[in-house]
Amino acid sequence: MKKLIFLTLFVLLAAFQQAPGQELQLNDLEYFETQGVNVLVYSNLFTGGFNDEKTAGIELIHHGVRTAQGGAVRLSNTPEQWDLVPAIPIRTVKRASNSIESVLTYEDFDFASRVVVTAKDKGVEIAVYLDEPVPAELEGAAGFNLEFLPSKYWGKTYLADGRLNRFPRYVVGNTVTRPNSEKIKQFKGYVTSDDRGTGRFVDPLPLETGRTFILAPEDPERRVKITSHDAEIMLFDGRVLAQNGWFVVRSLLPAGKTGKVLSWTVEPHAIDGWIREPNIGFSQVGYLPSQPKVSVIELDKKDTLLATASLYKIDENGRAAEVFSGNIEPWGDYYKYHYVKFDFSSVNTPGIYYIQYGDQKTNNFIINDDVYDKITDATSDIWIPIHMNHMFVREGYRVWHGEPFKEGYRQAPPNTDHFDLHRQGPTTDTKYEGLERIPGLNIGGFFDAGDFDIETGSNIGVVQNFVQTWEYFRPQRDQTFVSQEQRYVDLHRPDGTPDILQFIEHGAKNLVAQAEIIGHMAQTLSNSVLYNYHHLGDAASITDGLPYNSALGSYETASDGLSSGVKDDMWAFTSRNPGLDLRAATMFAAVSRALKGYNDDLAERALDQSKRLLNEATELLASQPENSRGRRFGAADVGTNLQLYISTGEQQYADKFQELLWPALDRNLSYVILTALHGISHMDASYKEKLRPYVEQYNEYIDDLEKDNPYGVPIGLGNWAGSGAVVNFGTTICFAHKHFSDIIDASHAFKATNWLYGCHPYHNYSLVATLGAARPKEVFYGNNRADFSFIPGNVAPGILFRQPDHFENYDDWPFLWGQNEGTIGGNTSYLIFGSAFKNLIK
């Protein structure tokens, strides 16, 4: 056995040492590169918003996949999301020395370091310099970290000074606890790892310690060697503290020293002659026989371009036969890769097919007349009702969540910052004192996303989406039982009422309650304790369901069982925002129409609040400087007056709508055009003709997208991926074609479905967990993300862009919300798009 272990170790080490070396060079985009390896040095910075989003620092893109990130001086072994992150005010590229130098600062501690990354042999040297010693309070806490993506390493081996180990699939390891007083100061005082009031914190212990680590020696695509001659290197499993933690390689900065205090050599292995496999983009849902069918193929720039691709049809006996071969049409370079197109629109026979490009084959897809019939069913039947707040939600044998937040909401105290980027101002802007219970808010509303708060702005848009879906398309689908009296929802159980009406009612109940009880719209109804905010599991278990009673001791329950000493009640952040009130007025006007004849009382109350909020918000906005109103002001005010005109028939609202619309279109066409299109059915013929030049201008925008990228859709390049923009683009095309078919061609709408269902960069999985998709994404950022699962019907934000040229979407790691988190706003926008698209293709 000893001989076998020695032989295995010898072979692994020899394989690493004999690997061909390829030196890294600084490229024009200011990162280190060789074929198969990119080392980014603070191309993407820590945000300071949600802090550690696992998308910043020194990053490694290893054979096409971003496998490491977060390289920086950090103040804990396994940093969590809200832990302090360094500001990086200075970044200098030094081409003469083939290096990048950056200054990292922690203002809270008056602590600065300098990190210099220099190309060296087969990798880079990372050196940390200090002009002043580590502050005394950070000794033993400040260190250099580099984090590796667990899903790319679990099950693989690693060597620590020659000792053989294996990365665990499930988190294991030893921890210690220590008193609160020893905890390094957290961002704005938020506590992340406190064991619910025990006053003690959990720290993971290292899995291994040594001077030389070799990660995944058996896997050429993931092999990395890290050495240090002046510091011990430790390996931690960050998942001990949080499910979204990464494997952390870390060395402490020495106390009392200045100058070059730490250095590592990091050598990512590069496979000699490696070429990324082609990514053949196509619709996983399939195609109509008559629609355009164009596959976009993403290629390594060093790949050899083939002349043709083929389409194969699978018969009832499973035999595949080539039925079409067509030329490859080059599009050009787009960021990191080269793109070509394969047009097989002429194939219109229903059946099962796959695409082959060289040796690369796709999974199968369908060409048939009914491929789009069910694209919204999972979203409306499952995802949306699961996110109904203040309800017990059941599906067959499974309980998705009990009734959450029975204790209701308390007023957020003045001058309170919130970890989800909200803030209570110097006053409450309500009749309630700080921490006073606000009665009547624990009704209706939808969970925002992978968390369990009610984001008022999102919920306003959600209800508006429901109303427009109802008014334009009248979906009669009834697959959900909803009882407001019982606060009970049962999936796949019809109750005789169209689900969409019940969704409108449920969202409106909470929003009308806010307007009536608070007097205006809250920013959010959210957690008061960070320990509860990042809760994963049943929403009903976030709080104890009992109002907090200050007369009771911690975790004590009153003798009558009606209150407790647990400070877990949700808070209402109520600083007034007239722009938000204006958006609510728009939505309330629309709700009053939709609910008339179904819930007349709620419809009447919604209309009253619409008129009141419009008047008050208009006065408040008029008193503010013009440049403080924000971009949303114009579109919201335009939409409010349109919806009030439709609801009341009063000419004053129609006049105001047109007065505001045309300047708003001139300011931001793509943002306002959909609202303008919604007005056509309610205005005279001259209105449509006046709108025509703007639609022609929008058509030019569509043409420009064809030149901008190979997919012909608006691609977002921010910290939140761009599915929402693509959905809005598709919805706009559907309505524009309806009214201006001579200008806007219906074929453009298929660009949106193609993108959503698999024709996009990085991989070809459907970004929508929809019925009919042959290969949807398998993991999403939802409230069940700890199980590496998804909720049917979810829509991912999609393909996330990392500066300066990398697109990605992990399908084996759900915890990056910017690419994997489905939101109630995004999913209901998809609902109206899917409805409009199905109507268009009829």
The DSSP line for 191-229 is -SSB-TTSSEEEEEPPSEEESEEEE-TT-TTT-EEEE-S
**β-strand 409-411 against 570-573: which pairing, if any?**
parallel
- CB 246, CB 150: distance < 8 Å: yes
What proportion of the chain, given as a percentage, has pLDDT over 70?
93
Query: What tens digit of pLDDT does each residue of 696-708 get?
Result: 999 999 999 999 9
> Which of 617-626's residues contact partners 24+ apart within 8 Å by CB, and which partners?
617/578, 617/579, 617/581, 617/582, 617/585, 618/578, 618/582, 620/576, 620/578, 620/581, 621/578, 621/579, 621/582, 624/578
- The owner of tokens 């200098």 is 92
Q: Tell me 517's DSSP state.
A: I
What is the spatial distance between Cα 490 and Cα 385, in angstroms, rounded to a whole number? 9
CB-side exposure of 91: number of CA atoms within 13 Å?
14
- Give the number of other CB atoms < 10 A from CB of residue 287: 27
The one catalytic residue in 52, 53, 448, 821 is: 821
Query: What tens digit of pLDDT does each residue of 526-582 get?
Result: 998 888 888 898 999 999 999 999 999 988 999 999 999 999 999 999 999 999 999
What is the spatial distance between Cα 489 and Cα 495, in angstroms, rounded to a whole number? 10
Query: What tens digit of pLDDT does each residue of 293-340 get?
Result: 999 999 999 999 999 999 999 999 999 999 999 999 999 999 999 999
The one catalytic residue in 131, 373, 655, 812 is: 812
Burial 537-574 (b: 16+ CB within 10 A, else e): eebbebbbbbbbeeebeeeebeeeeebbbbbbbbbbbb
- CB 373, CB 357: distance < 8 Å: no
131 is catalytic: no
- CB 380, CB 466: distance < 8 Å: no
11: CB partners within 8 A, 6+ apart: none
Angle subtended at Cα 793 by Cα 787 and Cα 796, rounded to the nearest 5 degrees: 70
**β-strand 437-438 against 454-455: which pairing, if any?**
unpaired
Task: State which amino acid sits at residue 468.
Answer: Q
pLDDT at 819 over 90: yes
pLDDT mean over 90-95: 97
CA distances from 56 to 142, 281, 727 (A): 18, 28, 28
- Give the number of other CB atoms < 10 A from CB of residue 200: 15
- Give the number of other CB atoms < 10 A from CB of residue 125: 16
pLDDT at 2 over 60: no
pLDDT at 191 over 70: no
- CB 283, CB 303: distance < 8 Å: no
**β-strand 320-334 against 308-314: which pairing, if any?**
antiparallel
pLDDT number for residue 637: 80
Strands across the sheet containing 488-491: 398-401, 392-395, 488-491, 480-483
CB-side exposure of 322: number of CA atoms within 13 Å?
9
Task: State which amino acid sits at residue 335.
Answer: Y
pLDDT mean over 3-25: 53
What proportion of the chain, given as a percentage, has pLDDT over 90?
87
Task: For residue 814, say if its preceding peptide bond is cis, omega within 30 degrees of 0.
Answer: no
pLDDT number for residue 826: 96
What is the spatial distance between Cα 470 and Cα 458, in angstroms, rounded to a whole number? 18
Quickly state the pLDDT bin for 50 (edges 50, 70, 90): confident
Q: What is the dihedral of CA 595, 596, 597, 599, to 10 degrees?
A: 50
> Residue 800's beta-bridge partner residues?
808
Query: What tens digit of pLDDT does each residue of 146-185 get?
Result: 999 999 999 999 999 999 999 999 997 888 887 654 444 4
Query: What tens digit of pLDDT does each residue of 431-456 get?
Result: 999 999 999 999 999 999 989 999 99
CA distances from 800 to 689, 709, 717, 805, 806 (A): 39, 15, 7, 11, 8
| Helices of type H across 337-490 | 377-378, 384-386, 456-473
Query: What tens digit of pLDDT does each residue of 641-697 get?
Result: 999 999 999 999 999 999 999 999 999 999 999 999 999 999 999 999 999 999 999
pLDDT number for residue 179: 67
pLDDT at 49 over 80: no
Query: What tens digit of pLDDT does each residue of 113-147 get?
Result: 999 999 998 999 999 999 999 999 999 999 999 99
Query: What tens digit of pLDDT does each residue of 492-521 get?
Result: 999 999 999 999 999 999 999 999 999 999
- CB 424, CB 574: distance < 8 Å: yes
Which one, of 180, 5, 186, lies nearest residue 85 by Cα? 186
821 is catalytic: yes
| Weakest mean pLDDT among 169-183, 205-219, 228-242, 609-623 | 169-183
pLDDT at 712 over 70: yes
Query: What tens digit of pLDDT does each residue of 202-223 get?
Result: 889 999 999 999 999 999 999 9
- What's the mean per-residue pLDDT of the chain? 93
Higher pLDDT, 194 or 140: 140
What is the spatial distance between Cα 113 and Cα 608, in angstroms, rounded to a whole number? 58
- CB 58, CB 794: distance < 8 Å: no
Quickly state the pLDDT bin for 200 (edges 50, 70, 90): low
Sign of CA dihedral 248, 254, 257, 260: negative
- Give the number of other CB atoms < 10 A from CB of residue 3: 7
pLDDT at 110 over 50: yes
What is the spatial distance between Cα 167 and Cα 188, in angstroms, rounded to a whole number? 34
Which one, of 765, 784, 781, lies nearest residue 820 by Cα? 781
Q: What is the dihedral of CA 144, 148, 154, 155, to 10 degrees?
A: -80
Which one, of 95, 127, 361, 167, lies nearest residue 261 by Cα? 127
CA distances from 660 to 256, 620, 691, 746 (A): 64, 17, 13, 29
Query: What tens digit of pLDDT does each residue of 450-501 get?
Result: 899 999 999 999 999 999 999 999 999 999 999 999 999 999 999 999 999 9
Give me the domains of the chain, ranges plus CATH numbers.
Answer: 2-268 (2.70.98), 279-367 (2.60.40.10), 376-585 (no CATH)
